[in-house]
Structure 1
Amino acid sequence: MGMEIERKFLLASDAWRAQVSRSERLVQGYLVSAAAVTSGAAKSSVRVRIGGERAWLNIKSSTLGVARQEYEYEVPLADAEAMLSRLCDGVVEKIRHYVAHAGHEFEIDEFFGANDGLVVAELELDAVDEAFERPDWLGAEVSDKARYYNLNLIGYPYAAWTAAQREGLD
């Protein structure tokens, strides 16, 4: 790992659903609070994620933008469950759908709970300026809007957003 280059987008339609190759339910929480990350008190976010019978610990630099340092390690499922229940202020629950398009794989996250209704497409690239073909169902880019980061969805969930925020207009 070392560096993640990821762009985030809203969805313009549900046409992507017909192209899903697989899906998985994910539950994740953060060991460092969003307040510590956004205030600069923490240089990274530290996430615990469970997907099926596997779990990971992820450390990502707190910089805003499409390119961030990232390290990920598999951890025992029981340890991840304990961390989520004892050390996290809350969790984000979602189903991740995988959609291949023109040589790239989009990860489309459909959120639940207080973030129900939020659907975001993510695309990991090899370079910040890498070209990719935009499918018709891809909407506005929100890579530079911190509220769309999973870390921030715990303290400021989609249910609390204004209509303009939900449309990515501010």
Structure 2
Amino acid sequence: MSVEIERKFLVKNNNYKKESYAKKYIKQGFLNSDKNRVVRIRIADDKAFITIKGVSNLAGTTRFEWEKEIKKSDAEDLLLLCEPTIIEKTRYLIKADNHIFEVDEFYGDNAGLTIAEIELDTENESFKKPNWLGKEVTGDVKYYNSSISKNPFKNWA
């Protein structure tokens, strides 16, 4: 088990696509989206994973995470058991100094939503903010993937 420290932001424009050095298609679902323990199944291109995440700290920046690679065929079977809705997105990787931003462009019921995340070594670590980075939404549960699977972006006012 490890501790994940990350910050989350909305994205203002598509300039991140020009800065991206890699991208992958992701399909994921949640076997359990309880706020105390989220169990996610993810297929990212040809690899598949089961991930368990614990509850976030008050700031929403830190939580425990356990992840294990599984066979893609097992993940496809497990996706059939997941809660509604399956999330589909393209993840773009962008290097910014010593950090990597992961920018997720969502499809289907979440089309129009684009979120950037950056993993940090400490909660107060400084980092370069690209010009396409928008409002910070770290700790806002509404933007968690487990939340947008239940209340998709298309339903937001």
Q: Which of the five TM-score ranges fits, normalised by the shorter chain? A: over 0.9
Mapping 1:136-151, distance limit 5 Å: 136-151=131-146
Percentage of pairs with the same residue: 38
SS at match of 2:16: helix
Aligned position for 1:5: 5
Q: 2:107 aligns with which of 92, 104, 112?
A: 112
Structure 1 gap ranges (5+): 163-170
Quote the Cα distance in structure 2 between the aligned partners of 1:108 and 1:16: 8
After superposing the two structures, state which structure 1 stretch, 93-102 or 6-15, moved more. Answer: 6-15
What per-residue deviation string (whole Å, max 9, x for no partner) do you get for residues 26-71 of structure 1? 00000113xxx24xxxx21000000111100000013250100001
TM-score by length of 1: 0.87
Quote the Cα distance in structure 1 between the aligned partners of 2:83 and 2:77: 10
SS at match of 2:80: helix
Q: CA RMSD in A?
A: 1.2
Quote the Cα distance in structure 1 between the aligned partners of 2:145 and 2:55: 12
- The one-letter amino acid paired with 1:98 is L
How many Å apart are 1:12 and its aligned residue?
A: 2.1
Q: 2:72 aligns with which of 66, 69, 77?
A: 77
TM-score by length of 2: 0.94
Tell whether 2:93 aligns with 1:98. yes
Runs of 4+ with deviation above 2 angstroms: 86-90
How many Å apart are 1:103 and its aligned residue?
A: 1.7
- The one-letter amino acid paired with 1:85 is L
Contact kept? 2:31, 2:81, Cα under 8 Å: no
- The one-letter amino acid paired with 2:40 is R
Contact kept? 2:5, 2:122, Cα under 8 Å: yes
Quote the Cα distance in structure 1 between the aligned partners of 2:82 and 2:4: 25
- Change in Cα spacing, 1:87 to 1:16, as seen in structure 2 (3 Å) is closer
SS at match of 1:74: strand
How many Å apart are 1:144 and its aligned residue?
A: 1.8
Quote the Cα distance in structure 2 between the aligned partners of 1:87 and 1:145: 23
Quote the Cα distance in structure 2 between the aligned partners of 1:87 and 1:15: 34
Aligned position for 2:47: 54
Tell whether 2:157 aligns with 1:157. no
Structure 2 gap ranges (5+): none
How many Å apart are 1:159 and its aligned residue?
A: 0.3
Q: 1:67 aligns with which of 41, 44, 62?
A: 62
